[in-house]
Copies of this chain bind each other. A is one copy, B any other.
């Protein structure tokens, strides 16, 4: 089996990032800044929209823009940083063409669907790992990426096969980006993230919809808008295609978490029947339960 162009365990080698949006740019910036000391032998960027890749490069995410996806497939480390449905299509189409001995990892927000596709479409000669860097901003595209966002952030590492080298290389990659690798299986990841990330995204859009649809006097409503609203709806500024991708890919757990939210709202509505003291007690109970 041909190994990638770098000694095992030494680092990511030549990295190709497929998808130069906010997440790809963020990781590219972190890896480019880390450089050879962290085993990064340059970052190449590919995006279906070449102007996006060019902007990403300008932001410092890589040394060059690839004109052809095929060039990405021969890298030592391929990072697929596109919405989940696109990741699955990429694996279906190109998984078999990845270089033996290379590492392929994604950045999608839902993992079971991705690692299943990796098992099906990536040959065992390639080290495949599911990844999820838990960092970013709500601003889509390379412009939304900020250097340093990866630093100290969790980076979920999700096994695809019994392949310790895959996990070791994924750890090295996460560490090179300054992140903290967190080993977790796909199902646990998806169950947790449904509630800690996907539900907050869905709620942000849903509250935004209520504010928009409510028969509110626009001018007065705008002048009364609170910082609290901005906090809760901030995630509704996220790229809808990215958000729709992980919500769809994690639909079962997302639906469960929505049902739990509706139940929680109903329980608080019942507490509201009991007057302000009973409601305050119910709210305080949640806070105590959440504090760690």
Interface of A toward B, CB cutoff 8 Å: 83-85, 134-135, 138, 154, 156, 180, 182, 184, 188-189, 191-193, 195-197, 199-217, 220-229, 231-237, 240-241, 243-245, 247-249, 251, 254-255, 257-258, 260-262, 264-265, 267-269, 272, 275-277, 279-284, 286-287, 289-290, 292
Asked if B223 contacts A182 (CB within 8 A), the reply is yes
Q: Are A243 and B283 in contact (CB under 8 A)?
A: yes
A226 surroundings in chain B (CB, below 8 A): 134, 193, 196-197, 200
State whether A241 touches B290 (Cβ < 8 A).
no
Bound Cα distance from A215 to B248, whole angstroms: 22
- Report the minimum CB–CB distance from A218 to chain B (whole Å): 8
Copies of chain A in the complex: 2
Instruction: Beyond the given A84-B276, A180-B223, A231-B234, please list 20 additional residue pairs across the A-B interface where CB-CB is below 8 A.
Output: A83-B276, A134-B225, A134-B226, A192-B217, A196-B228, A197-B226, A199-B207, A199-B210, A204-B232, A205-B268, A212-B289, A213-B264, A214-B257, A228-B234, A231-B232, A232-B235, A240-B281, A243-B283, A245-B276, A247-B276
* Measured CA separation A281–B241 after assembly (Å): 8
Sample (16) of A-B pairs whose CB atoms are under 8 Å apart: A85-B276, A135-B227, A154-B225, A192-B224, A196-B225, A196-B229, A197-B229, A205-B283, A205-B286, A206-B268, A210-B260, A213-B289, A236-B290, A243-B280, A248-B272, A255-B269
Q: How far is the CA of A264 from the CA of B209 in the complex (A)?
A: 7
CA gap between A289 and B292 in the complex, in Å:
38
Tell me whether A276 and B221 are in contact (CB under 8 A): no
Closest to A193 in B: B224
- When chains A and B are docked, how far (Å) is the Cα of A286 from the Cα of B210? 9
